[in-house]
Amino acid sequence: MYLTNQDVIELTAWRRKLHTMPEVSREEVATAAEVQAFLADTKPDGVVSGLGGHGVAVIYDSGVSGPTILFRAELDALPIAEIGDLEHRSQISGKGHMCGHDGHMTMLASLGRQFGRERPKRGRVILMFQPAEEDGFGAAAVVADEKFGSLKPDYSFSLHNMPGLPLGHVWLKDGVVNCASRGLKIMLTGRTAHASMPETGISPVPAVAKLMPALTALSRGTIATDDLVLATLTHASVGEPAFGIAPGYAEVWVTLRTMTDGQMDALTGAAETLVREAAAEGGLEYALEYHDIFTHSENHPEAAALLRAALNAEGVRHVAGETMRGSEDFGRFGGVSKSAMFFLGAGENIANLHNPNYDFPDDLIPIGSKVFMRVARDILG
């Protein structure tokens, strides 16, 4: 079963509606409600809401024993103000769907329309509208949610639109597809002093001056190869914005990135050693916090083979592509199922993801839909 022309028109209009009402990670209340309302007339066999925050799982059950397949899309947008003059531009100040998650949700909704008309011959299909992908919180929270126990899939599939890749073409590879990453917030505390007598205080400035080049020196490699290690300084602040106070507090933020989780353990250890030594040398107290924690995402060979067969059957051009340096929390589903994701080309002459003028290409809706449907029918009939 495939989408009708009317389906495509209505799904496109819905995608644009979603684009006007972006909500950032952990705030996706209206978006989750909109998903449930849009799919209500497909008469799903179950809906589980409040998963890992505001996540929604929509279930289509054949009533016949068989595998459970989960398809994942993301609910959240970004804290980026949209620019441009689209009729469907964001109506929420300072927030926008600059990563195309509105399109991902629409492709899952297209599956709901089709399975609403004809259930799979066996097993279940779960459409997982996941919260908080952008900060790495959502997938882990969904999987840890006790309500997820009754949903646990045998297979999980996802995609991400990819500017720079020809429209409708696909990257699909075996093994690691997205790197591990996490944000390290370093807090250094000394003692303020009058700016005329800095020697009476304990300044964090020498420690910051030492840490900034030392942390970036941990990096090696600029492409996603097996030995990629990347430490990227993203923020630093020292003291108060005043001329009369020698600083007593500083923060340094650094994003740590590696190909695999095992490499991340080594990188965090090295970074923490640098902080400990710099603080001790400067007579400072220090504290560390980790944020936006992403494990590496890895395609299971069987799940990837199923995607590859679907792409071939539907005549979608695909190549192996490369591991993405950017992170993706879909890898968490790989811990509970055979999972795989692919990257769907959004076009070569289009704004990049997270650019303030990015808009998901509507032409991708039927392409992503037919690939996912083929996977589901190949497994469940």
How would you write the chain as a 3-class SS string?
Answer: CCCCHHHHHHHHHHHHHHHHCCCECCCCHHHHHHHHHHHHHHCCCEEEEEECCCEEEEEEECCCCCCEEEEEEECCEECCCCCCCCCCCCCCCCCECCCCHHHHHHHHHHHHHHHHHCCCCCCEEEEEEECCCCCCCHHHHHHHCHHHHHCCCCEEEEEEEEECCCCCCEECCCEEEECEEEEEEEEEECECEECCCHHHCECCHHHHHHHHHHHHCCCECCCCCCCCEEEEEEEEEECCCCCCEECCEEEEEEEEEECCHHHHHHHHHHHHHHHHHHHHHHCCEEEEEEEEEECCEEECHHHHHHHHHHHHHCCCCEECCCCECCCCHHHHHHHCCEEEEEEEEEECCCCCCCCCCCCCCCCHHHHHHHHHHHHHHHHHC
Is residue 364 within 8 A of residue 103, CB to CB? The reply is yes
Residue tagged 């890898």 (tokens): 331
Could you tell me the two tokens for 8? Answer: 């495509």
Is residue 1 within 8 A of residue 107, CB to CB? The reply is no
Could you tell me the two tokens for 92? Answer: 């929420």
- CA atoms within 13 A of residue 115's CA, in its CB half-sphere: 36
Q: Using CA atoms, how far apart are residues 128 and 331, in angstroms rounded to an integer?
A: 14
In the prediction, which pLDDT does 221 show?
77
State the average pLDDT for the chain.
97
Predicted TM-score of the model (pTM)? 0.94
In the prediction, which pLDDT does 321 show?
87
Distances (CA, A) of 110 to 12, 117, 160: 10, 11, 16
In the prediction, which pLDDT does 227 show?
80
Residue tagged 């299971």 (tokens): 300
Residue tagged 């066999």 (tokens): 45
Q: What sign has the CA pseudo-torsion 312, 318, 319, 320?
A: negative
Per-residue pLDDT tens, the chain, 381 aa: give them.
689 999 999 999 999 999 999 999 999 999 999 999 999 999 999 999 999 999 999 999 999 999 999 999 999 999 999 999 999 999 999 999 999 999 999 999 999 999 999 999 999 999 999 999 999 999 999 999 999 999 999 999 999 999 999 999 999 999 999 999 999 999 999 999 999 999 999 999 999 999 999 999 999 976 666 789 999 999 999 999 999 999 999 999 999 999 999 999 999 999 999 999 999 999 999 999 999 999 999 999 999 999 999 999 999 999 998 889 999 999 999 999 999 999 999 999 999 999 999 999 999 999 999 999 999 999 999
Hey, what amino acid is at 378?
D
Angle between helices 5-20 and 29-39 (to 10 degrees): 160
pLDDT digits (tens, 9 = 90+) for 320-330: 988 899 999 99
Is residue 131 within 8 A of residue 75, CB to CB? The reply is yes
For 137-147, b where at least 16 C-beta lie within 10 A, e where not — what string? bbbbbbbebee
Q: Using CA atoms, how far apart are residues 209 and 367, in angstroms rounded to an integer?
A: 51
In the prediction, which pLDDT does 24 show?
98
**Which domains, ranges and CATH numbers included, belong to the chain?**
5-178+297-380 (3.40.630.10), 180-294 (3.30.70.360)
In the prediction, which pLDDT does 2 show?
81
In the prediction, which pLDDT does 42 show?
98
In the prediction, which pLDDT does 225 show?
64
pLDDT digits (tens, 9 = 90+) for 304-346: 999 999 999 999 999 998 889 999 999 999 999 999 999 999 9
